[in-house]
């Protein structure tokens, strides 16, 4: 009889999770809470760090985060990172979009971390239902590396406020977990009513314009965007004309790992060439640089 019901990717992630738990057997562990949610605790004290305990530790409003991801290994890492900050608490989790929609009214999260690629109901469908039924800030999670996996940026057009790479186990030791916490707290503070849906820009076929790009730019246009500004960039850049005599430089607060994928996404959908800003390279007219 069949005994394995997961695909090989899920089996690999589960194996990584078990290996991680064995390696950290004498450190922080994960125990089951009375509410069926995963909770982080220190070995030996047997006490889970739940929402109520976090509220007792700080006078600042605690932001309730809901994690929606089909990987238990990723949920564990994200939960441990979030609960390292007294201002954040894990309200609960869901393993797919359908389960998330069933729990969202009960959990009432301040922000949802949403995996874009899930079984049962994919992230884009889930996000559209969230925006209709229970609007709240949604941050998209993806396991992309470099320029791979650019499609999740479409979810920002549907109302997502930010796009983050899924954390890895070593983030807790190299400082990147602090940056993840900062970005999530900034996303919680966004005035969500200002986030507007954007029509997903179509793919554009451009003629080779490298000869024109040998001309130095006579003018410089600079745009700055903070957390939540991705949709503004997606709306503006595809409208830039090829014959503009200016170089456009966009400074955007985003994860370093996401820049390559975002540049590729914009470049495929814009009349002007979009590339990363590099030190020492002269700015050319008709080119948009992202940094």
What would the pLDDT profile of 43-75 be if each residue is shown by its tens digit? 334 344 555 555 445 556 889 999 999 888 889
CA distances from 42 to 21, 46, 118, 197 (A): 13, 7, 31, 42
Question: How far is residue 226's CA from residue 281's CA, in Å, rounded to a whole number?
Answer: 25
**Has residue 193 got a pLDDT over 90?**
no
| Percentage of the chain lying above the pLDDT 90 cut | 30
- What's the whole-model pTM score? 0.72
Residue found under tokens 């916490």 = 181
Question: How far is residue 267's CA from residue 62's CA, in Å, rounded to a whole number?
Answer: 39
Half-sphere exposure in the Cβ direction for 235 (13 Å, CA): 15
Over residues 214-226, mean pLDDT? 89
SS3 breakdown of the chain: % helix, strand, coil, rounded to 5?
35, 20, 45
Long-range CB pairs of 115-120, under 8 A, 24+ apart, other chains included: 115/68, 115/69, 115/70, 115/71, 115/74, 115/141, 115/142, 115/166, 116/140, 116/141, 116/142, 116/151, 116/152, 116/155, 117/142, 117/152, 118/68, 118/69, 118/70, 119/70, 120/96
Question: How far is residue 276's CA from residue 264's CA, in Å, rounded to a whole number?
Answer: 10
Strands of the 63-68 sheet, one edge to the other: 88-94, 63-68, 111-115, 138-142, 162-165
Among 141-145, 174-178, 269-273, 278-282, the minimum mean pLDDT is found in 141-145
The per-residue pLDDT for 266 is: 92
Question: How far is residue 52's CA from residue 114's CA, in Å, rounded to a whole number?
Answer: 24
The count of residues in the chain is 291
Task: Say how many C-beta atoms besides its own lie within 10 A of residue 174's C-beta.
Answer: 9
**Has residue 148 got a pLDDT over 90?**
no
pLDDT tens, residue by residue, 7-17: 676 677 777 76
Diameter over CA atoms, the chain: 71
Q: What SS3 class is residue 90?
A: strand
Pairing of strands 29-32, 38-41: antiparallel
């Amino acid at each position: 009889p069949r005994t394995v019901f997961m695909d090989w990717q899920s089996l690999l992630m589960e194996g990584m999770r078990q290996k991680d738990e064995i390696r950290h057997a004498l450190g922080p562990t994960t125990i089951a809470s009375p509410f069926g949610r995963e909770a982080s605790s220190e070995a030996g004290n047997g006490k889970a760090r739940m929402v109520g305990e976090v509220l007792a530790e700080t006078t600042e409003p605690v932001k309730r985060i809901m994690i929606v991801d089909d990987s238990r290994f990723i949920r564990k890492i994200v939960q441990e990172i979030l609960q390292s900050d007294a201002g954040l608490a894990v309200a609960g989790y869901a393993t797919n979009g359908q389960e998330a929609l069933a729990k969202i009214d009960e959990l009432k999260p301040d922000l949802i971390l949403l995996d874009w690629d899930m079984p049962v109901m994919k992230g884009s469908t889930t996000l559209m239902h969230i925006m209709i039924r229970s609007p709240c800030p949604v941050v998209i999670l993806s396991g992309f590396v470099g320029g791979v996996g650019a499609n999740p940026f479409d979810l920002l057009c549907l109302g997502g406020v930010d796009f983050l790479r899924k954390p890895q186990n070593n983030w807790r030791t190299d400082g990147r977990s602090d940056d993840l916490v900062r970005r999530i707290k900034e996303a919680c503070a966004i005035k969500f009513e200002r986030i507007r849906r954007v029509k997903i820009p179509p793919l554009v076929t451009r003629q080779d314009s490298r000869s024109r790009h040998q001309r130095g730019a006579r003018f410089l246009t600079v745009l700055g965007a903070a957390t939540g500004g991705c949709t503004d960039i997606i709306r503006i850049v595809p409208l830039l004309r090829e014959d503009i005599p200016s170089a456009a430089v966009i400074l955007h607060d985003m994860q370093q790992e996401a820049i390559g994928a975002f540049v590729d996404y914009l470049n495929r959908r814009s009349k002007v060439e979009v590339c990363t800003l590099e030190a020492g390279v002269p700015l050319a007219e008709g080119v948009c640089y992202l940094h």
